[in-house]
Structure 1
Amino acid sequence: MYTANPQRYNKMSYNRSGRSGLILPPISLGLWRGHALSTYERTRELVLHAFDEGIIHFDLANNYGLTPGDAEKVFGKIMTEDLADYRDELVISTKAGFHMGPGPYGEWSSKKYIASSLDHSLQRMKLDYVDIFYTHRPDPNTPFEETAEALDLIVRQGKAYYIGISNYNVEETAEMVRLFKERRTPFVIHQMSYNMMNREARDSGLLGFLNDNGIGGIAYGPLAEGLLTDKMSEKIAEDLPIHRTNKHILEGAGREKTQKQLQELAKIASQRNQTLSQLALAWLLDQEEITSVVVGATQIHHLDDNLSTLKNSHLSKEEKRQIQNILEK
């Protein structure tokens, strides 16, 4: 029988998502690497350790896992057998939008797909509601009004407390903000690909727009799928399984440029007595627009290494300047 660490909240400080009432840990645990967490026992050990360390936010999606839905099923078993008594302390998020199944209602953001997807997600996770439900990507063929109405209905039905969007650009985000304001929908967070090597979220003005509108930002891929690590600073692996949003970093002459940047960043990390991964997380967490980062650790010692960042997540003006110079080369 699992009993949570009574000191868990002494280990973590928490951030408010924009101007909402949603509060998240600076480091959240994403379970998208369901294929790497090949056993229930291994996933359970990681999730419970994270909770004992003060991580209260667990991020999922309908299609996560070796087979779509597997990650939610495993998490549902952990919820039922270990975390049911702690449900009110947890922030659980899931998403719908990427490919989940065959046929015209197996992906994207129609009302039918979003509504049915969440119902299935709740069944898999053995939950009555999720805390955050995201539309996982904009749908070019469905009116944004339909997507917004579907998400608003989900909140009114009590199936989600808050709404988020993911992978929307500035213009698309602005349109969703308008639609949600009309409906008084609690849209409080935007999840985007963002890391030292992929700064589109800032360069495009998305982060500034979110901040101006009181919406939190949560970064996925903060380490660019393992690129921002000491090992890769020595030599980038030829077969690094980099995410589609970060592929441009290693295309053509970009690989050699990135290698040099990683080496220089690793030197700054060393001067701070940190790993490159810890510096990369600190760089994100030092930005006021970022409420949390979603790490995809699959081993406890990697998660603990990520959490150690919180002991030194502030960057001096000089360190920021040095990092900026490296990234802009």
Structure 2
Amino acid sequence: MEINDKSGYKRYLAKDGRYQQMKYRRCGRSGVQLPLLSLGLWHNFGHADDLLKGQQILRTAFDLGIIHFDLANNYGPPFGSAETNFGRLYKEDFSAHRDELFISSKAGYDMWPGPFGNFGSRKYLVNSLDQSLKRMNLDYVDLFYHHRPDPDTPLEETMGALDFIVRSGRALYVGISNYPDDQAKKAIAILKDLGTPCLIHQARYSMFDRWVEKRLMNTLDDNGVGCIAFSPLEQGMLTNKYIKGIPADSRAAKGMTYLQRETVEANLAKIKGLHAIAEARGQSLSDMAIAWLLKDERLTSVLVGVSSAEQLRSNVKALDHLGFEADELKKIEDILKS
């Protein structure tokens, strides 16, 4: 909600009743509850993006009861700019609500030159988080992830760094991201022994990318660790965007790094088949794709990235229809396996 002050500036006042319209789910066996939809700032919050549009997205998210904002040190472009822009907007609109927010960041990918600007050394993780806190105008983050496994640094050093980060007050909780099942098991065990349990695993998961179902979800559930899905719409493939072909202004047409024209064309029959099921359910394809993930109650939350406040409101509609009939699930499986 916005009100005009004497200068004409539209000042933000959080909407009353925002917690009544969002559903929350407990994260593993912890005390943390996250909204079924969380907001990722991977795209659309860099220095090349419209900051006013980003502000509207964040304000809309909070008014909808979305209290989890997810960042990383190298989100942008350029690296660090998403955190810098978030820090400006946080200070302006959300600092009074710090205790209501659950803010996460990560480190593990390329960030600065030299041997200490990447992967999983203690030096990189601690220094990176210190930089992130300055950019975001925060004293601590609620959650800090190691963003990906490091093939060379001992896992004990990386997990030890996460333990130190919690004990030093830089983060309340820690998690891992992009870890395959075998490495996730080891990381969870090390953190448990250190006395700083792993809160959550952030994994790529969608109708088209189901690797977590093989073993990882059971591993996390057995250890009381939550799971949050990123890229739930497969970079836009699981939306209505490509039903009638590849639009000229789409990621696939532009040959973006994360989505190629050939990938869309190879999946077009599946996209159209899933779209038909979604229509019969009275949903958009994107809403159904989100609901399909959340049918598994072991999944704590789905992380969405949006380019507008309107798109975010549309995504939230998925929560109105989470249930699936047995025949719907069978039809979806038949399409996905075809």
TM-score class normalised by the smaller sequence: over 0.9
**CA distance in structure 2 between the partners assigned to 1:35 and 1:239 by the alignment:** 22
Q: Could you tell me whether the CA contact under 8 Å between 1:227 and 1:236 is conserved in 2?
A: no
**CA distance in structure 1 between the partners assigned to 2:184 and 2:160 by the alignment:** 15
Q: C-alpha offsets along residues 183-225 of structure 1, whole Å, 9 cap, x if unaligned?
A: 111311000111001111113x111211121111100000011
Secondary structure, counterpart of 1:234 in structure 2:
coil
Instruction: Determine the structure 1 residue equivalent to 2:7.
Output: none
**CA distance in structure 2 between the partners assigned to 1:295 and 1:182 by the alignment:** 33
Q: Could you tell me whether the CA contact under 8 Å between 1:37 and 1:298 is conserved in 2?
A: no
**CA distance in structure 2 between the partners assigned to 1:37 and 1:314 by the alignment:** 39
Q: Could you tell me whether the CA contact under 8 Å between 1:2 and 1:82 is conserved in 2?
A: yes
Instruction: Determine the structure 2 residue equivalent to 1:310.
Output: 319
Secondary structure, counterpart of 1:47 in structure 2:
helix
Q: Give the counterpart letter for 2:19 in structure 1.
A: Y
267, 275, 292: which one aligns with 1:266: 275
Q: Give the counterpart letter for 2:94 in structure 1.
A: L
Q: 5+ residue gaps in structure 1? A: none
Q: C-alpha offsets along residues 60-112 of structure 1, whole Å, 9 cap, x if unaligned?
A: 00000111111111111111111111000000000000111111111111000
1:19 pairs with 2:29 = yes
Q: Could you tell me whether the CA contact under 8 Å between 1:211 and 1:289 is conserved in 2?
A: yes
Q: Could you tell me whether the CA contact under 8 Å between 1:92 and 1:130 is conserved in 2?
A: yes
Give 1:298 deviation, angstroms.
1.5
Instruction: Determine the structure 1 residue equivalent to 2:161.
Output: 150
177, 188, 193: which one aligns with 1:182: 193
Instruction: Determine the structure 2 residue equivalent to 1:285.
Output: 294
Instruction: Determine the structure 2 residue equivalent to 1:226.
Output: 236
13, 18, 38: which one aligns with 1:8: 18
Scaled by the length of structure 1, the TM-score of the pair is 0.94
Q: Give the counterpart letter for 1:288 in structure 2.
A: E
1:128 pairs with 2:152 = no
1:96 pairs with 2:86 = no
Q: C-alpha offsets along residues 268-305 of structure 1, whole Å, 9 cap, x if unaligned?
A: 00001111001100101111221101101010111111
Instruction: Determine the structure 2 residue equivalent to 1:109.
Output: 120
Q: 1:324 to 1:240 in 2, by over 3 A?
A: farther
Instruction: Determine the structure 1 residue equivalent to 2:58.
Output: 47
Q: Give the counterpart letter for 1:38 in structure 2.
A: D
Q: Could you tell me whether the CA contact under 8 Å between 2:47 and 2:78 is conserved in 1?
A: no
Give 1:40 deviation, angstroms.
2.1
Secondary structure, counterpart of 2:135 in structure 1:
helix
Q: Which moved more, 1:37-46 or 1:167-176?
A: 37-46
Instruction: Determine the structure 1 residue equivalent to 2:6.
Output: none
Q: Give the counterpart letter for 1:161 in structure 2.
A: L
**CA distance in structure 1 between the partners assigned to 2:324 and 2:256 by the alignment:** 27
1:31 pairs with 2:41 = yes
Q: Could you tell me whether the CA contact under 8 Å between 1:224 and 1:242 is conserved in 2?
A: no
Secondary structure, counterpart of 1:87 in structure 2:
helix
Q: 5+ residue gaps in structure 2? A: 1-10
211, 218, 221: which one aligns with 1:208: 218
Give 1:239 deviation, angstroms.
2.5
Instruction: Determine the structure 1 residue equivalent to 2:309.
Output: 300
Q: C-alpha offsets along residues 117-150 of structure 1, whole Å, 9 cap, x if unaligned?
A: 0000000001011011000000001000000000
Q: Could you tell me whether the CA contact under 8 Å between 2:119 and 2:150 is conserved in 1?
A: yes
**CA distance in structure 2 between the partners assigned to 1:199 and 1:36 by the alignment:** 33
Instruction: Determine the structure 1 residue equivalent to 2:69.
Output: 58
**CA distance in structure 1 between the partners assigned to 2:135 and 2:241 by the alignment:** 37
Q: 1:280 to 1:36 in 2, by over 3 A?
A: farther
Q: Which moved more, 1:84-93 or 1:280-289?
A: 280-289
Give 1:316 deviation, angstroms.
1.9
Instruction: Determine the structure 1 residue equivalent to 2:8.
Output: none
Over the aligned positions, Cα root-mean-square deviation in angstroms equals 1.7
Give 1:310 deviation, angstroms.
0.7
Q: 1:206 to 1:17 in 2, by over 3 A?
A: same
Scaled by the length of structure 2, the TM-score of the pair is 0.92
Instruction: Determine the structure 2 residue equivalent to 1:239.
Output: 253
**CA distance in structure 1 between the partners assigned to 2:223 and 2:206 by the alignment:** 22
Q: Could you tell me whether the CA contact under 8 Å between 1:195 and 1:280 is conserved in 2?
A: yes
Secondary structure, counterpart of 2:221 in structure 1:
helix
Q: Could you tell me whether the CA contact under 8 Å between 1:224 and 1:243 is conserved in 2?
A: no
